[in-house]
Structure 1
């Protein structure tokens, strides 16, 4: 009797796998025909793992994956999915995920091909963002995890490596970010024990964080006995798509002796988009650390984020720890130093880099950058359609790929919010378009984040027409 979990019927497994691959290819090719829809109750009930629902074999699994799982995603592959900044996937990702699953490599360390692919991806990104030779990086789940890693390195840089043993004691560290900064910054400070109360929310204009208010907040904290340690700039805010003036922030960080971290979850990739959008991230090359996501504006499959850190010594000082069973060797599989487990929180790490490497091999940075630029153009188009409607009104300038507006500015703020919420829900349920909502100046507004390489001009026109119809239908 064998206890192997490999397929008992290899030929049958091959047939089932090919059928499932065809189903995946059909779904990918027909993304335009599959908007989000609620998961039926019978399907939800079928997900339970009890009774006869387990131990069915690979062929039955393949059938269930095709019928019960594949059709019920968030709809973010659809070209009129504008809710939140969701990645949309690439055909190259289907290929890379097959290979990654087959290899099942652990990228915590050791000497094997996937490690060198991750180094190549980091080197490429370092060049894109103008970080110096010798800067370090590691691929992570996303910008939330990247922010924790970057601010952990910033703290060690501020207090010294001994704080990993002793903690930060009575030192009250303070950090600074714009009011529109992502909640990941607050969470990172909470997780690191610095505390959310020590994050200063700096007022913003349409150009991002106010430099004068930032300098005043730093001075006030120093006078109160706190120790400022980090400025967190934003390249593409989650609510309105704002970009901080990174050059101005870099000057302040230099003058004040602070670490400059940039949250570039999606907006950092404007660097590839050409004029005028690449100018939004001018100065990003001066950051001490950068967090961004490949799974957003680089379109690769979830999850895949990146943290870059200018000073490799500071990065390693915050995380390196090798018990004897992980001791490196000069030859064999235990070689391959440096190991990525010394640059983050994870020893067990999946092959995220293969998704990025495959996208770059298949499409190249020029095509990816052109898709990013087109997303910005589509947002500008949506803004123009909103302005052309006699009753709609933009709630903020369209800076990159976000358009935020109200469907009927004639109404009271409360009534506008109720209408916009109703429209968002109705269009989601009808499959016509997915908008999210965000509260601006007391009004719950419709928000479109265009981050799909499949979105065309006609999709934007259809979506705004659907908003108008839903509004006028009352």
Structure 2
């Protein structure tokens, strides 16, 4: 062996067998971590001595991998967000799957850039996108792209909507005048507001429409606003429906909105980050009727499909317009008829990102292992659990539901009567915080009509009815203790 070979420096392990043994240990520990998830605290505050470890300077010299792993075990693993735990009901997140972890592992090993090209990663993403089209009943001719999550999925769809409905080449000319208008309910997710702002229309470019008592968009108010805006010289271009609002899980009347969009020649977009994948559930699919009429749908696959982060998807019926919105091919990305750079539809032409990780593999592996029907059953069970929790609340005099149960979201509060709204808000906020700090559960919260709610978004494939018995028991205990 030459001197050059002996001194050659690389980032590969110096001792492959030692590195493999450490990786095997990590796999053992990871399986135990998930298998025994209930034996650890769902969440805990990070002590000062742990926080100080994250203030150290960048390491300049190597450390052995074993010591790095020990640091992970000591200072990272005990302090998770908690969303893989069955009693995490705060922000709307799935639990992940072992097959998803395996997919992410292999995606990191082969490490392709899904910007474009003729290789297996591209074909896997094509297949996954086609599966999602089937789920939301879009034609195969539709386009689609895997993205980081619902925020980017909504942004991509609204960008296409703006470009298609502006009536001129907005990509070349920019905004001629800021008179384009999007519509959504007051319950629309904030990422849509950000998207409209970033598209150059400002916050005023999204008109927020009043809601009904069930937190769905008021159709008459929507029609009235569109008529008024047209009379005032504005140009309505898109209605954003929500299939599963983040506060209460409400599903807008998709068919009614589709009718309006057809009549007014508007783009019909569905923010389905929470609920679109519920097309897999026999219970919820009828409530989503009309989603197939949309021009575009945004989905979050790391929610109810339980993919490890990140995994979002945007589906757009008008393939050509989708491509025209984002496609830009410099000389270094020119396509060939043969080899790696062949192929007609590179994913880099359908979104902002050129560099994109191989997100599709974990989705592909999980759906192949479990099948779509099993995911549908998990979704249906979560819906049933939301109603189980709702019944527990209704059946106790000191508890109160504050909104209709939407899909799998229940909003309630402790209310022993005889207290002011301010007192009730303070008590319920403290109950929520103590549930976290005592590592009992991690519910979410929101405010509905001024009332602070304990909000449970039930999207875990590990949760049981007994977990809700424990939640209600401790809400009542804490409420009594707080007076």
TM-score by length of 1: 0.97
1:209 aligns with 2:217: yes
1:3 paired residue number: 9
- In the alignment, the residues of structure 2 paired with residue 450 and residue 37 of structure 1 have an alpha-carbon distance, to the nearest angstrom, of 21
1:147 aligns with 2:144: no
8 Å CA contact retained: 1:146, 1:306: yes
- In the alignment, the residues of structure 1 paired with residue 205 and residue 163 of structure 2 have an alpha-carbon distance, to the nearest angstrom, of 17
- In the alignment, the residues of structure 2 paired with residue 173 and residue 9 of structure 1 have an alpha-carbon distance, to the nearest angstrom, of 61
TM-superposed deviation, 1:226: 0.6
TM-superposed deviation, 1:160: 4.9
TM-superposed deviation, 1:162: 2.2
Q: 1:51 to 1:278 in 2, by over 3 A?
A: closer
Runs of 4+ in 1 over 6 A off after TM superposition: none
- In the alignment, the residues of structure 2 paired with residue 104 and residue 176 of structure 1 have an alpha-carbon distance, to the nearest angstrom, of 40
1:425 paired residue number: 433
1:262 paired residue number: 270
Q: 1:55 to 1:458 in 2, by over 3 A?
A: same
Question: Once the two structures are superposed, what CA deviation does each residue of 1:254-282 show, in whole Å capped at 9, x if it has no partner?
Answer: 0000000000111112211112x212211
1:119 aligns with 2:129: no
TM-superposed deviation, 1:194: 1.1
1:47 paired residue number: 54
1:108 aligns with 2:86: no
1:293 paired residue number: 300
TM-superposed deviation, 1:52: 6.0
1:106 is paired with a residue whose SS is: coil
Aligned length: 473
After TM superposition, the structure 1 = structure 2 runs for residues 37-186 of structure 1, keeping only pairs within 5 Å, are 37-50=44-57, 55-160=62-167, 162-186=169-193
TM-superposed deviation, 1:54: 5.5
TM-superposed deviation, 1:29: 0.5
2:259 paired residue number: 251
Q: 1:376 to 1:147 in 2, by over 3 A?
A: same
Q: 1:319 to 1:161 in 2, by over 3 A?
A: farther
Where does structure 1 lack aligned partners over 5 or more consecutive residues? none
TM-superposed deviation, 1:37: 1.2
Which sits farther off after the overlay, 28-37 or 240-249?
28-37
1:321 is paired with a residue whose SS is: coil
TM-score by length of 2: 0.96
TM-superposed deviation, 1:388: 0.8
Q: 1:445 to 1:458 in 2, by over 3 A?
A: same
Aligned equivalent of 1:29, options 25, 35, 39:
35
- In the alignment, the residues of structure 2 paired with residue 438 and residue 101 of structure 1 have an alpha-carbon distance, to the nearest angstrom, of 37
Which sits farther off after the overlay, 211-220 or 59-68?
59-68
Which sits farther off after the overlay, 286-295 or 206-215?
206-215
1:365 aligns with 2:394: no
1:221 aligns with 2:244: no
TM-superposed deviation, 1:53: 8.1
TM-superposed deviation, 1:3: 2.4
Aligned equivalent of 2:22, options 16, 23, 34:
16
Aligned equivalent of 2:389, options 379, 382, 385:
382
Q: 1:80 to 1:295 in 2, by over 3 A?
A: same
